[in-house]
Amino acid sequence: MLKAEIRYLMVFILLVSSSFATQASANTNQEKVVFNESIEVMGEAYTASQVDDGVKVTTTIIGAKDKVVVVRDKVEDEFISVASEQWTLQEEKIELQKLNQSSLKEEVKGNAFSGDVKGNWVYGKWRYYTIEIPDKAAAITITALLCSYIPYIGKVVGAIASLVLIYGVDTGYFGAKRDYKLLNANYMMEKQQLKMFEKSNYTKLIKNETKESASLVGN
C-alpha cells in the first residue's frame, strides 16, 4: 500500500512539473508532444498537432486540401517559418509576415489548487491573453497562431478560431485553463477550457469551450 502511494506521488510530482513549467523549459532541447487532436474550423475538419523542444514550438495543421507547418521561436518571440503543401513561396512569406504582425500580452490570475494525489481534480491557473490578430490571414494561419501563443488548447481551439474568423476580430481577448485528474499511474483525465471575451477586462463572455478526455500520463 505504501509503495503504491509513493508511486502515485512520484507520478503526480512529475505531472505537475511537466504541465506548468512551460516557460522554465525554454532552455532545454527535449522535444515534447503538446497535443495531437482532431478539430473543426469553419466547418472544415483538421488534424492539429504541436511539439515543443524548449526553444521552438512547431504547430502542424492538416486538412483535406493542405498541410501547414508553423514554427515559432520562443526565445526571440517570433514566427520563423510557415510551410504549406499548396501555397507558393510568396504566399508562405505573406502568411509569415502576417503572423509576425500579431502580438501577445499575457497575465495570470488566481492560484493553482491541488487535490489529493489520485482521484481528485488538480486545477490550473486562469491565464488571460490579449492577441492582436493579423488582418485577412488564412483560417489555418489563425488557428496555428492561437495554438502557438496559448498552450494546451488543442481540444478546444476550433470553435474559438471559427468565431475569430466569423467576426473578423482584430484584437482577441482570451482566457485559458488546464485541469487534470490522476486516474492511476498510467492515465489521467484532462480538462481544457478556452474562453473568448468581448472586452479587455475579460468580463463579457462571448464563448466558453470546454472538453475533457483521458490520456497517458506525461503526454
Average of per-residue pLDDT across 124-151: 90
**DSSP secondary structure letter of residue 83:** E
Our CA dihedral for 42, 59, 79, 151, rounded to 10 degrees, sits at 90
Average of per-residue pLDDT across 177-186: 86
In the chain, the N- to C-terminal Cα span, in Å, equals 27
Burial (CB < 10 A; 0-12, 13-18, 19+), residue 166, is exposed
Give the pLDDT of residue 152: 81
Burial (CB < 10 A; 0-12, 13-18, 19+), residue 42, is middle
Give the pLDDT of residue 113: 56
| Structural domains of the chain, count | 1
Structure-model confidence comparison of residues 23 and 85, the more confident one? 85
Question: What phi-psi label fits residue 126: left (phi over 0), alpha (psi between -120 and 50 degrees) or beta?
Answer: beta
pLDDT class for 155, splitting at 50, 70, 90? confident
Task: Please give the residue range of the domain that contains residue 185.
Answer: 2-216
Condensed to tens digits (0 to 9), the pLDDT of residues 62-112 reads 999 899 999 999 999 999 999 999 999 999 999 999 999 998 899 887 655
Average of per-residue pLDDT across 141-159: 89
The distance from CA 38 to its chain's CA centroid, rounded to whole angstroms, is 13
pTM given for the model: 0.75
Q: What DSSP string runs through 126-139?
A: EEEEEEEPPTT--H
Mean pLDDT of the chain: 82
